[in-house]
Chains A and B, each alone.
Chain A
Amino acid sequence: MIIVIDGINQHKFKDVLDEMFKLRARVFGDRLGWEVNIQDGREFDQFDSLNPAHVVSINDEGDVVGCMRLLQTTGPHMLADVFSSILDGEPPIRSAQVWEATRFCVDTKRLGRGRGKNSVSYVTSEVMIGSFEYAQEAGVLDSVAVIDPVMNRVLQRSGNAPYDYVGTAKPMGKVVAMAALMDCSDERIQSIREYSSIDYDVFLTDDQALELFNSGQQAKLAQAGAANLDHQPLTDLEKYFVEQMHAATTKEEVQAVLKLIESLSDRFTPEQKTALLQTPRAFAHEA
Chain B
Amino acid sequence: MKLIDLATIDHDERSAYDIINSVCNELGFDYASYATTHPVNGDVQGYANYPDEWKIHYATQGYHHLDPTLYQSALSIAPVDWGRFNHDDKFNAVFRDAHDFGITDRGLTVPVRGPYGETGLLSVTKDCTDEEWKKLKKHVMGDLQMAAVHAHDTVMQSGLLAKALYLPTLSSREKEILQWVAEGKSQQDIGDILCISHRTVEVHMRSGREKLGALTTAQAIGRAIGLGLIYPG
Contact = CB atoms under 8 A, between A and B. Distances in A.
Interface string B134-151: 000000111111101100
Contacts of B119: 75
Interface in B114-161: 114-117, 119, 140-146, 148-149, 152
A138 B75 contact: no
> Chain A interface secondary structure, helix, strand, loop or mixed?
loop
A76 B117 contact: yes
B72 interface: yes
A267 B120 CA distance: 49
Contacts of A226: none
Interface stretch (A66-74, A119-127, A171-179, A216-224): A66-74
B76 interface: yes
Contacts of A94: 115
Interface string B60-95: 000000000000101111111000100000000000
Interface centre among A52, A94, A139 (most CB of B within 10 A): A139
B3 interface: no
Given A50-B117, A72-B112, A76-B113, A97 B76 contact: no
A97 B78 contact: no
A74 B115 contact: yes
A97 B142 contact: yes
A6 B78 contact: yes
A226 to B, nearest CB: 39
Contacts of A263: none
Contact of A71 (B77, B79, B141): B77
A138 B141 contact: yes
B77 A52 contact: yes
A227 interface: no
B141 A72 contact: no
Q: How large is the interface on A (under 10, 10 to 19, 20 to 34, 35 or more residues)?
A: 20 to 34
A215 to B, nearest CB: 24
A174 B116 CA distance: 32
Interface centre among A74, A134, A140 (most CB of B within 10 A): A74
A29 to B, nearest CB: 25
Contacts, number: 76
Interface centre among B78, B143, B146, B152 (most CB of A within 10 A): B78
A79 B119 CA distance: 19
Interface in A135-158: 135, 137-141
Contacts of B142: 97, 139-141
A33 interface: no
A197 B191 CA distance: 81
Contacts of A52: 77
Nearest to A80: B115
Contacts of A8: 72, 75-76, 80, 84
Interface of B: 72, 74-80, 84, 112-117, 119, 140-146, 148-149, 152
15 contacts: A6-B75, A7-B72, A53-B78, A70-B77, A72-B112, A72-B113, A74-B114, A75-B113, A75-B115, A76-B113, A96-B112, A96-B148, A97-B146, A139-B79, A141-B142
Q: Which 8 A-B pairs have the closest CB atoms?
A: A75-B113, A7-B75, A139-B141, A138-B78, A139-B142, A96-B149, A96-B145, A139-B145
Given A6-B76, A96-B149, A97-B145, 17 more contacts: A7-B75, A7-B76, A8-B72, A8-B84, A50-B117, A51-B74, A51-B75, A74-B114, A75-B114, A75-B119, A76-B113, A76-B116, A96-B148, A138-B77, A138-B78, A138-B145, A139-B143
